[in-house]
Amino acid sequence: MPGSVLIVNPHASRVTPTLSAMIESEFAEAGELTTLLTERPGHAVELAREASRWCDRLFVYSGDGGFNEVVNGMERDVPVGFVPGGGTSVLPRALGLPQDALEAARILARSSATRRISLGRANGRRFTFSGGLGLDAEVVRAVDALGRRATGRPGDVAFVAMLARLLARHRARFRPSMTVRGRGRVAFALAANCDPYTFFGRLPVHVAPLARFENGLDVVAPRELAPWQLARLAAWVLARPGQHHSPDVLYLHDRDRVQIDCDRPTPLQVDGEDLGDVTEVLFEAERDALSVLVSGTNAA
């Protein structure tokens, strides 16, 4: 008999047995519920593939990596609710849900409001909010190299520390190292499916201020990066966006397809997950791809 499914990643940073039981209870009160636990990387893909074939609604209590696995596993378009269980949990927060997992679960359990959103693809792999080629993917890889703690993946402070270390290693200078086909040379590239691109604590980071879930992708690519530009870039992404007007930044808005060729194998990430090194990447927009459960005030 159809019902709801809750997929839980028990290894995510902010997922605990106590919270999991409370969240499960919230969803169970709304109707028949089946709860599934992930056991290994990639397992959420398998669970979502099977669950999406028969369930009415799918809930995911995880971090952004688990959310990414779920959207890559789904075979049928059923409404999905994302409960923040990671250190940052960009996706549910960008959708207007609170960072508190139990509060978010209560909203989703009681809401029938949905919002249609687009998804991105990087060489075929779906992503929900971001894909990066070069610098930010290097940061993701450096954080992953720190290993997992008992409480999960290192948090925002570790990402900032690794970014600072990489900037120091490169002396804050990144020369053109890839070509956006038909648009010229750039130093690195960031593909955004929404704004904000990520969060640092409670602070939103506006890499692509024009990006919206309902549109195609925005791709932001500095033509090169020098030390004197760092303060301006920080001001743009944290306070006063201006990168979409700058001649020093290639800003492509609401695009269906952007192809990039790298001079050498370059790290690629989507939704904070390292996809390894690539020599080319095709970023694509999958418009009107997913129905997400939201609070009534954030329905489209």
Give the pLDDT confidence score for residue 150 in this predicted structure.
Answer: 55
Residue 50 lies in a domain: yes
Q: In this predicted model, which residue has the larger pLDDT, 298 or 241? A: 241
Structural domain boundaries enclosing 66:
4-110
Count: domains in the chain: 2
The CATH number assigned to the domain holding 217 equals 2.60.200.40
Least confident of 82-86, 118-122, 232-236, 265-269: 232-236
Confidence tier at 152 by pLDDT (50, 70, 90): low
Above 80 in pLDDT, residue 148?
Answer: no
Residue 226 lies in a domain: yes
The domain boundary residue, chosen from 62, 79, 110: 110
Rg (CA), the chain: 19
Residue 115 lies in a domain: no
The CATH number assigned to the domain holding 20 equals 3.40.50.10330
Confidence tier at 144 by pLDDT (50, 70, 90): confident
How many residues belong to the chain? Answer: 300
Residue 293 lies in a domain: no
Query: Same domain for 54 and 168?
Result: no
228-242 confidence digits (pLDDT tens): 998 898 899 988 889
Which long-range contacts link 210-214 to residues 24+ away (Cβ below 8 Å)?
210/244, 210/251, 210/253, 210/254, 211/253, 213/94, 213/95, 213/115, 213/117, 213/118, 214/116, 214/117, 214/118, 214/300
Tokens 């709801």 label which residue?
4
Above 70 in pLDDT, residue 122?
Answer: yes
